[in-house]
Amino acid sequence: MKTVQAITVTIPNELAAELNRMQKTEMKNCSSIVADALKEYIEWRQFKGLQKEAAAVARAIGVYDESDVERLVHEYRAGK
């Protein structure tokens, strides 16, 4: 079973030049560099999605800034 897939992408000349420089300095092929970058982008998007969900939950319980977090921590500790 094939574990990789070849794709074709078009990028601006400036990015292509930087990719070629990175290939030489990092001694990695273009595919590895692009795959690593795509993995990081996907992880970043997932993180941003989680961050958005967490912000909605925080707003729902009245947390808007750090002072609200500190207040909740203080209330929790006082209740112990």
Per-residue pLDDT tens digits for 17-73: 999 999 999 999 999 999 999 999 999 999 999 999 999 999 998 899 999 999 999
For 60, the domain range is 13-78
Question: What distance in Å separates the CA atoms of residue 80 and residue 73, rounded to the nearest whole number?
Answer: 11
Residue 5 in domain: no
Separation CA 43–CA 51 (nearest Å): 12
Single-letter code of the amino acid located at 16: A
Structural domain contains residue 8: no
Residue 4 in any domain: the answer is: no
Tell me the CB-side half-sphere exposure of residue 19, using CA atoms within 13 A: 16
The predicted pLDDT at position 2 comes to 81
With respect to residue 46, please indicate whether it lies within any of the assigned structural domains: yes
Total tally of structural domains belonging to the chain: 1
CA separation for the pair 51, 18 (Å, rounded)? 31
Name the pTM for this structure: 0.71
